[in-house]
Chains A and B, each alone.
Chain A
C-alpha cells in the first residue's frame, strides 16, 4: 500500500476529491445564508417589526408583490418592467461601446497613423471618472435613455478599445508576413487573420466590462429614471424596504452571473482555440 501524504485542503500539494470540491464551492454560500438567518432571527426576537434584516418569509412576500402582482398605480409587474428597462439600457450601452471599441482598437493596432492620432487621447479619456461627468451627460443628453446609455458607453469603451489595441499588437509580425506570402491583400490580412483572432478577446473584454457597466447603470438610474432595477432600489430605500432591496440585489447578481457564464460558454464553444 502506497502511503498518500496528500491533504484535501491544506498546502501546495492539496488534492481535494471531486465531491469535496463541490462542497468547498457551496460552503461560502451556506455560511453567508446561515449567518444572515441567525442575525435576522436575533433581531426579530428583540423587535418583530425589524426592517433591517427581513426574514426569508418577508422577502418571499416582497417577491410575490413585485413579480407576480400588478402594481396598483401603474398596472405593471414591477420586477419585470424594471428588468426590461434596465437590460435595454445596459445592452444598448455595452453593444455600442463594444462596436466602437472594437473598430477603434483594430484601427489603432493596425494603422500607425490612427494610433498616433488616438492612443494618447483615449488614454487620457480613460482617466476621466465617468461618474464625475454624469451631470454633464444628463445636461447634454437629457435625463432620458440617451444620458444613461452614454454614461455606460463612455465608461466602458476606452478600456475595450485599449484592450483590443493590445490584442492586435500582440499578433506576431511573422503571422502578418506569413499571410502576405500566402497571397493576402492588406484587407485580407485584416479580415482573415487579425479580425477573427481578436474577436474572442472582444467577448472576453466585454464580459469583464459588464461589471462597471452595471455600476454606471445603477448610478444613473438612481439619480433620474422612471423605471429600472437601480431606480427601484433607490426608491424603496426611502421606506427602508430591505426586503425589496435584497431581492433586487439578488436578482441583479443573478442576471450578471448568467451573462458572465453565457459569454464564457460562447467563447469556449465557438472559439475552442482561444483558451487551449
Chain B
C-alpha cells in the first residue's frame, strides 16, 4: 500500500526515469546570442506534444537539440534515461523538406531504415522482408501504387506521407516533426493532419511536433507548449533583450475531433496562446507562466 502511494507520487515528479523525454536546464547559445534560456521539459510516453512560438524564437533549435543534430551549451537531455548524444534511430525525424533521398525510389526510401543498420551483405539478404514491410507502411499512407517512382515525381503532400512512412518503419520511441506540413496547400494540409492523428493512434506513438501555425498546434496536440522570448524576469523588465526563449505556457488539450476547429473554446484557447507567447506587448513574469500541464516543471 505504501509503495503504491510512493510510486504515484513519483509519477508526478518529473524525472528522467518517469518520462520518455526529459530536458532540464537546457541553454543554447550561438556566438553571443542566447537562443534558448533554461528550458525544462518532460514528456510522457504516448503524448502528442506540439510546440508553437513566434518566428525566430528557437522552436527548431530545440527540436534539433532533442534530435541530437546539435548539442546544448549547458543542461541535460535524456530519452528513457539515456543521454542524447547523436542522432539515432530511437528518435525519428520528418523535416519540411530534404527528408527523402532523391536517388532512391519511394519503396527504397522506406526500406532504407531496414537495411542501413545492417552490414552491406546482410542488407541484401533481408531485402525481400524489408520490401514487404515497406509496402505495408506505404499502404498505410495510401501510396502503394507509387512504390517505383522517384520522390521528384510526387507532389509535396505525397512526399511528406512517404517521409512519415520512412520514419515510422523504424518504430522510433519519439517522432520529431519540424513544420512537416508547412509547405502544403490548405486542403492537403488538413488531410495530412487527419492522417497523422490516425497513425498516432494506431501506432501508439509519441510525437513532438513543431509548427508556426497555432491552429495546427492546438488541433493536433494532446499538449501544447509555447516558447517565446517575450517575458520579463528579475534581470530585465523591458522584454526581449537577447535573453533567449523560455517555455511561457504549457496546456493540456482535450482529445479532439475534426469538427473541433469550429468551436468557441478552440478560438478562445488560440487567443490565449497568442497573448501568452506571440504578443510582444503582453509580458508575463517568469513566475507567472501558465504551466497547467501536469508534467510541466520549472527550475528557476
- Residues of A at the B interface (CB closer than 8 Å) are 172-175, 177-185, 188, 191-193, 196-197, 271-274, 276
Q: Across the interface, do A172 and B98 meet the contact criterion of CB distance under 8 Å?
A: yes
Q: Across the interface, do B69 and A276 meet the contact criterion of CB distance under 8 Å?
A: no
Q: A180-B86, A182-B89, A274-B103 are in contact. List 8 more A-B contacts (CB 8 A).
A: A175-B101, A180-B87, A181-B89, A181-B92, A182-B116, A182-B170, A183-B117, A273-B103
Number of interface residues of B (CB under 8 A): 30
Q: Closest Cβ of chain B: how far from A190's Cβ, in Å?
A: 12
A182 vs B166: C-alpha distance when bound (angstroms): 8
Q: Across the interface, do B88 and A180 meet the contact criterion of CB distance under 8 Å?
A: yes
Q: Closest Cβ of chain B: how far from A186's Cβ, in Å?
A: 10
Which of A172, A181, A188 has a CB less than 8 Å from the CB of B87?
Answer: A181
Q: Is B112 an interface residue (CB 8 A)?
A: yes
Tell me the number of A-to-B contacts counted with CB atoms below 8 Å: 71
* B235-272 interface (Cβ within 8 A of A): none
A149 vs B86: C-alpha distance when bound (angstroms): 45
Q: Across the interface, do B98 and A276 meet the contact criterion of CB distance under 8 Å?
A: no
A197 vs B112: C-alpha distance when bound (angstroms): 15
Q: Is B167 an interface residue (CB 8 A)?
A: yes
Q: Across the interface, do A183 and B101 meet the contact criterion of CB distance under 8 Å?
A: no
Q: Across the interface, do A178 and B91 meet the contact criterion of CB distance under 8 Å?
A: no
Q: Across the interface, do B93 and A175 meet the contact criterion of CB distance under 8 Å?
A: no
Q: Across the interface, do A184 and B99 meet the contact criterion of CB distance under 8 Å?
A: no
Q: Is B172 an interface residue (CB 8 A)?
A: yes
Q: Which residues of chain A have C-beta atoms less than 8 A from B182's C-beta?
A: none
Q: Which residues of chain B have C-beta atoms less than 8 A from A177's C-beta?
A: 67, 69, 87, 93
Q: Which residues of chain B have C-beta atoms less than 8 A from A172's C-beta?
A: 98
Q: Which residues of chain A have C-beta atoms less than 8 A from B297's C-beta?
A: none
A276 vs B99: C-alpha distance when bound (angstroms): 18
A173 vs B153: C-alpha distance when bound (angstroms): 23
A182 vs B115: C-alpha distance when bound (angstroms): 9
Q: Across the interface, do B170 and A181 meet the contact criterion of CB distance under 8 Å?
A: yes
A276 vs B150: C-alpha distance when bound (angstroms): 10
